[in-house]
Amino acid sequence: MIESVFKVGGKLIRGNRLRKLCLHLGEIGCRHRILLVPGGGPFADTVRVQDTSYGLSDGAAHWMAILAMDQYGHLLADLIPRSKLVRTINEAKKIAGSGRVPVLLPFEMMYHKDPLPQSWSVTSDSISAWIAKIARAPMLVLLKEVDGLYSVNPGKKEGNKMLENIRIDQLSSNKGVDPYFAKIMKTSPFKLWVINGQDPERAAELMSKGRTRGTCLLR
């Protein structure tokens, strides 16, 4: 069984902390059965630029963006000790059970099943939630470049505060996740945490103690 799905946000590629995060994820994978889902990061940003320039169809932009997740996945697997690229949930379970870290390349599975709307309202947040659901994982952790979800847009400072807890009805309007994310979470039983991947000790603390600094979804 997969204990937790970790989505590694694309913005974590900025700066010099991604390597440290990857080392920590490798260590966590020795003690816990985890599955990593890559974000899109600068690879998906390139798709957005081309969409703006050429007015891509929804389908083309959707699949190009998921291919961008595959690219980021190759980068993560290169940085995480004892990791292995996988393309199916069954592969992931076998690798995780052996004490290694599976890094899922989602394109092949997503293209075959086509389970989500082909729209920019669906990002790696929603895709990771769908993956956690079909993997029957007890927990999904979104590793982002901020401490958690905020009362208003994370980029704004005035009147803004990090939410330690959030309800489903609040999640649907929160700018820290994509617009479709709450729809998947409404029918998903697993725990949700949003934590800062730039402080990777929090991921280890969450797996060992069940809590850390971040935002937890109230059920």
Residue 114 dihedral angles phi and psi, to the nearest 5°: 45, 60
Annotated domain spans of the chain: 4-217
pTM above threshold 0.75: yes
**pLDDT value of position 162:** 93
pLDDT (average), residues 44-55: 98
The pLDDT, as a whole number, for residue 181 is 98
User: Looking at the predicted structure, is the pLDDT value of residue 155 above 90?
Assistant: no
% residues pLDDT > 90 (the chain): 93
What is the C-alpha separation between 3 and 169, in angstroms, rounded?
Answer: 26
Query: Which class is domain 4-217?
Result: alpha beta
**Using one digit for the tens of pLDDT, what is the confidence trace for 101-139?**
999 999 999 999 999 999 999 999 999 999 999 999 999
Strand positions, DSSP E, 115-187: 139-144, 149-150, 162-163, 165-166
Query: Residue 156: what pLDDT?
Result: 62
pLDDT for residue 129: 98
